[in-house]
Structure 1
Amino acid sequence: MSEAELVLCTTRVVTPQGMRAASVSVRDGRIAAVLPYDARPPAGARVEDFGDDVLLPGLVDTHVHVNDPGRAEWEGFRSATGAAAAGGITTLVDMPLNSLPPTTTVGHLDTKRAAARGAAHIDVGFWGGAVPGNVEDLRPLLDAGVFGFKCFLSPSGVDEFPELGPEQLAAALGEIARFDGLLIVHAEDPGHLERAPRASGPHYAGFLASRPRAGENDAIAGLITLAERLAARVHVLHLSSGDALPLIAAAKRAGVRISVETCPHFLTLTAEEVPDGATEFKCCPPIREAANQEALWQGLADGTIDCVVSDHSPATVDLKTADFGTAWGGISSLQLGLPAVWTAARRRGHTLEDVARWMATAPAALAGLGHKGAIEPGRDADFAVLAPEETFTVDPAALRHRNKITAYAGKTLHGVVRSTWLRGRRINDGTTLTEPTGRLLERPPGH
């Protein structure tokens, strides 16, 4: 064994080659080697033996709304990254909206970084925003280190981050294609939303009707056409419509550079179970019916959907009114995404290797974080230690999110996160967090 300062041992280590008993040696915050479980540790190395608990790569969540600065009463870097660490996440990429200012210029990015510096329990990167009138800001933002650019095709819900119309989308994507950047897209067609019945009142069915699947499907179809014409890279955010999967699969087969994510709430919650007035279940696009959910699981199984990320979108309690028309939309799940997905995945015959691929390896690849997302030599020594057979019942009061609102309240989930490790240092022991030591990440050169 090469010299190491730390050796982590368990009978179940999830590696790119599968799960096996192994000893993982760590040196200078990176994985030095993955060796047999019974390999003799070097003299002086500290050994942590986790028995039969599973050693997973630290999860990478590329879709998080931290809202800091400006709306830090909704969430902040310390609380968001603390919740993430408690849930086995070691890297997140922050969305450019819901903070004030939004991340649409280099100056605004500097403001965002200043808010995060010294407050992050885990590593944090940033998406830039593509909004009307900021085409000239896109390349400077990329050079300043953002991982790509987010846009909306329909109203975002906040006035300071407007949607792109068709000509504006083409202009922004054309500019991004010139430097081979990545555009990540909230794909709902505004025409469908305008024609749909308005949501109001406590009944979830009315809200669901206001965000029809056709709105997602047509927006994605148009995005595919534009990406193909411009030879651009695009990523579909928070896919909820299973009807869009065939056209996405066909686009991938045709060579269109498109990737897709979905979220824990779409994979684990259904429209049929939402009680009247329970706006903790409200998000856009919406949680759909059970049959649609099974289509999403099939899309994950066959590779049409690339990754699973949270779309953690918090709000204060007063914004979650009992009226689905007026309540703020968003689900907070940083701390619960891993057990929620694992609970549903294991029932369908999926493995923890699948979960690690969806929630660590693929999101890391999306952001170009080649040193994250897998347990293999050279990568950062970021880990989640999971007891996959153990269960717990979700108690909102135990969550580290700033506002204790969750659609998972009272649910029994499989998978207890025993500890979380960032670059070879335990930052969460299952009950307490260390002081923040996360780094601010920049886009790797060439991504």
Structure 2
Amino acid sequence: MVTVRTISNVAMILLSIMMLLSCTTHSAVLESNENHIKSATFLSEKFEVGPGKIVVKTLLDIDFPRGHIGVKSFDVEVVDEDGNSVPLYETYLHHWFAVKYIENITMSEYIKQSHDLSNGIEFERNDGACQGFLLPHYWGLGGESRGTYSNLPDPFTVELGNPAQIKHEFKEKWLFSIMVIDTRGTHDRKGCTECRCKLMNLPKDFYNVTTGIDGQLLSKNYKGGLFCCQDNVQCKLRNGFRGPTRQLSLRYKIRWVDWDEHQVPLKFYILDSTDRVRSNGSTPIHDCQAEYTIPRNHDNDFPHVKKADIPMTKGGYLIYGTAHMHTGVVNTTLYGQDGRVLCTSNPKYGTGKEAGNEKGYLVGMSVCYPRPGSIKIEDGEILTLESIYENKFRTGAMGHFYIYLAEQIPNQ
């Protein structure tokens, strides 16, 4: 029997969908369950790829749920014009980062027209300790995106859109920073995904004009990594190969709840195994490199280990942990100061041809969900991050560990 109350509930749901769609594009509400979790899927603006082409883009003001909310998960993949998932062996998703910023509403039209980010925008990075604007994002992975869970357990969320924390005349917005590499027809697919400089059609004066993270000119010993994968650079193709260009997008799904007193906010930290921490008196100075090269080593079969000892100014209870790594990873482990294992993230490698299970590619990293309250990181505790790869020559290797910490655990 259909009651007036049922009709009213349906009307409210339809009204909510219409309101969401009115402020976003390419979106659809997919879920609203008994825990009041809402869900929407969005498409980013398109970007064009062709055989061997590298695309490095910043996509401003992406569609995002509005209001004072708590985000429960954020999942991303690359799709073609028809919405089909694109396999990594065709277009490799090197990384995507979702970065928060606030924009002066009086400057919005100027910024939209000019893409000038030097005026009217302030970036708000995560709680991690890397210097400057290095690893600033709140969510972000790479080729392992489809197989890595991002769900946060109840009642924990990432709080966003709190009007009390947004400056007057500013609006909270989000951007994507992306790198994709089309490897169709390339001489060396694996080398291209590692951004090996010798496989790229780089400008002749590349080493004379290109600066690294430290602001200094790149050394001629720089064999590969982020700086050899620049926008519109071409990875060398097999002689005579021809292939069509494609219009691709990021398809991303966000799950969230409206903020209320039942939600517990989390702090998000990115730790980097390349962090060369030093001190200035009692103040730690972080020197993250974001990537590293694993040199050729024919002497042994032992895996390559990269370690960093990272002081945590502010601790908390560990709620979630995982790693952003590249193909070749053995595992990554985060240790407490007393040597206890806080979280180990293990890789999943593909065995087939379908998107999400590409043979030989890293397609997922395991996630730690410790019982809330069971693992506490103390203020000032020095954590050790250990990233282990196969002992093979590799450029652009990464060892980033993501942890969400709660300052308090609610009473059960």
Structure 2 length as normaliser, TM-score? 0.26
Greater C-alpha Rg: 2
Give the helix-richer structure, 1 or 2: 1
